[in-house]
A and B are shown apart, each in its own frame.
With several copies, the nearest count.
Chain A
Amino acid sequence: MPEMTSSVAAFVGGDGERSPALTLPAGVDLTAKLGRLTLKNPVTVASGTFGYGHEFHRFYDISQLGAVMVKGTTLHPRAGNKPPRVVETPAGMLNAIGLQNPGVDEVIRTELPWLVSVGATAIVNIAGHSVDEYGEIARRLDSVPGVAAIEINISCPNVDQGGMAFGVHCPSAAAVVSGVRRATKLPIITKLTPNVTDIGEVARAVVDAGSDMLSLINTLVGMVIDIERRRPVLGNTVGGLSGPAVRPVALKMVWDVARQVKVPIIGLGGIVTAPDAIQFLLAGASAVSIGTANFADPLAPLDVIEGIAAYLAAHGHRGVAEIVGAANPGFLGSRP
């Protein structure tokens, strides 16, 4: 049964092997226009899952990506939380890295120049303990070459102060965004937390405060307990749930937000394959991010880019924008 054998092979040892270069169909323009931010293609990689890109650049040329959202960057260096920091869960994982990063000045000094040197489009994800701190980080990044946009992380569940605390209430979320808005002319993406009763409300608040775009979702708060030691597995007790497990929740939130704001949305949460990504585009996201999937399959973003292109070609579309929001009757954003 030769055909059976080939259909079976894909099931042992993970998904397929692929070349580190992209193969794209002719006649499809993958350019993603997100307001005044234009990306080569709609596939970006999510903050915290890609470091500053070095590790993945060993496997493929990361300038092929729509953008690299770098690890959450703070004003001062942070060591992060105590181990264990990660634990696997059904179709997902919890992380409580705690924003380990070398601080914004070091990122400006070494990481951003390197990203520029390899031709990558860099978006800097920032996190602070106070409205002022967010503003200060943004100010330092404002005129740095190679920063395409700032992504405001008001949704990190793994730090004591700040982080998600800002993102669950409209007034504080809006205050952070206004502060950053005053500090920079760069395009601002605000990254929303799913740990709220009504994400649409927060979305509207941060757009009103001047956010040019939104990205969603960050992680859901979760935990795992070690039943032999009778204590949480993570050193930080709780962590953020990500990966395929959360995809239906993320998609629903993108769907909702796309009906309530007109700004471009970057959709993420559990995307592994092109069909996953296409669901988010059809729901109303103008671009997507690949997060946890990078850990399970470092080449996943390349498959997603190619798969989106193939889907567009197969359905006779010439550009990505043609399918953005196409499954969502209430989509508010603009389409060509």
Chain B
Amino acid sequence: MPYIGRATVTAKREFARNMVSITIQCPAVAQESLPGQFVQVRAWPGPGTAADPLLDRPLSVAGVDKQKGTFELLVRVVGRGTRLLASVPVGETIRVTGPLGRGFLEAAGAAGPSILVGGGVGLAPLKFLAEVLTAGGHEVLSLVGARNAAELPPPGELAGKVQVATDDGSAGFHGTVVALLEQMLTMVVFRSGRVPAPVVYACGPTPMLRALKASATLLGLPVYLSLEERMACGIGACRGCAVRQVGPKMAAGEVKMVRVCHEGPVFAAGEVDLDA
């Protein structure tokens, strides 16, 4: 059963430009969360006392400290909800519902050597995933993309090996993170002929996921994507976040919808239609 109730903000820090790390005291979420799962957050009054913004905001769990009973969010301030959340003073409570959804490793079925590909806020669930994988002794390479150096996370924030890419070339590889992946895969992984092949986990803007799905499929690697879709309830009730299921498991002519908030947010790349 997901937790629903108040939780206290215990720390905040600027993680990268316009991105805030927020630590929240909530033992239930800290205990139960798996990488790739998310919480619904309300950091403003309502809905009874003030109804705008009306809906909670979905945010990935970016890490947990089970001992302390805290979990972390990495929030990019893009609109009013994220701005209100970023403005909650340390010591105040917000409302948290979660953990929700299916995580990366549940989607993949097993842990092993992994390549993590993230852009922008896509970083949040991957940070948690990298921690869990390295703690389990698995090799992890994270490829982190951003528009420029200022938007990159500080070095050392992600467990395992990290390579960065920036659109403007101000740090690391000059280009997209998917281009970086392509280069690395052809150069490194395949040349080494390593078995088992790594699994690719990715989270980021849909165009990035689309590009990634194309290249990785080409290279024959299993790819799991964490999707974002506009949500109303976040708990599976409204069917607002549904995407179309595709792939070999479907009968001809069969139309099946899956909910990003419930069957997802992590899906095998071949399982969902990214083009709707």
Contact = CB atoms under 8 A, between A and B. Distances in A.
Direct contact of A and B (CB under 8 A): yes
Interface of A: 1, 3-4, 7-15, 17, 48-51, 54-56, 58-59, 71, 77, 79-80, 82-93, 95, 97, 100, 235, 243-245, 272-273, 276, 292-300, 303
A15 B46 contact: yes
Contacts of A273: 48
B44 A295 contact: no
Interface in B236-272: 236-244, 255-257, 262
Contact of B54 (A56, A82, A88, A97): A88
Nearest to A245: B51
Interface of chain B: mostly helix, strand, loop or mixed: loop
B47 interface: yes
B108 interface: no
Given A59-B4, A245-B51, A295 B255 contact: no
Contact of A296 (B54, B88, B239, B257): B54
A294 B233 contact: yes
B42 A51 contact: no
B1 A97 contact: no
A90 B235 contact: no
Given A12-B45, A12-B88, A85-B230, A298 B257 contact: no
A276 B49 CA distance: 11
Given A80-B257, A88-B55, A17 B6 contact: yes
* Most chain B beta carbons < 10 A, residue from A3, A4, A14: A14
Contacts of A7: 18, 77, 83, 86-87
A87 B230 contact: yes
Nearest to A247: B51
A298 B4 contact: yes
Contact of B86 (A8, A276, A297): A8
Contacts of A276: 48
A244 B52 contact: yes
B68 interface: no
Interface in B198-251: 229-244
B239 A295 contact: no
B148 interface: no
B43 interface: yes
Given A83-B229, A97-B238, A235-B276, A14 B47 contact: yes
B271 to A, nearest CB: 16
B47 A272 contact: yes
Nearest to A13: B94
B160 interface: no
A85 B235 CA distance: 15
Given A17-B5, A296-B55, A83 B239 contact: no
Size bracket, chain B contacts: 35 or more
Given A86-B230, A272-B51, A13 B17 contact: no
Instruction: Rank and list the top 7 A-B pairs by shortest CB-CB distance, nearest first.
Output: A86-B240, A8-B87, A13-B94, A14-B95, A14-B42, A296-B47, A91-B51
Nearest to A274: B48
B62 to A, nearest CB: 17
A320 B44 CA distance: 33
Contacts of A303: 48
B161 interface: no
A35 B262 CA distance: 38
Contacts of A300: 47-48
Contacts of B255: 77, 79
Nearest to A81: B242
* Most chain B beta carbons < 10 A, residue from A49, A85, A95, A243: A85
Interface string B51-65: 111111000000000
Contact of B242 (A1, A12, A85): A85
A11 B256 contact: no
B30 interface: no
Nearest to A18: B5
Nearest to A293: B47
A89 B14 CA distance: 29
A239 to B, nearest CB: 10
B184 interface: no
B84 interface: yes
B94 to A, nearest CB: 4
A210 B98 CA distance: 45
Contact of B232 (A11, A91, A93, A244): A93
A240 to B, nearest CB: 12
A14 B40 CA distance: 12
B93 interface: yes
Given A7-B87, A15-B46, A244-B52, 9 more contacts: A12-B44, A12-B88, A13-B44, A15-B49, A58-B2, A82-B276, A83-B242, A88-B53, A296-B42
A10 B47 contact: no
Contact of B230 (A59, A84, A298): A84
B2 A4 contact: no
Contacts of B6: 13, 17
A291 to B, nearest CB: 10
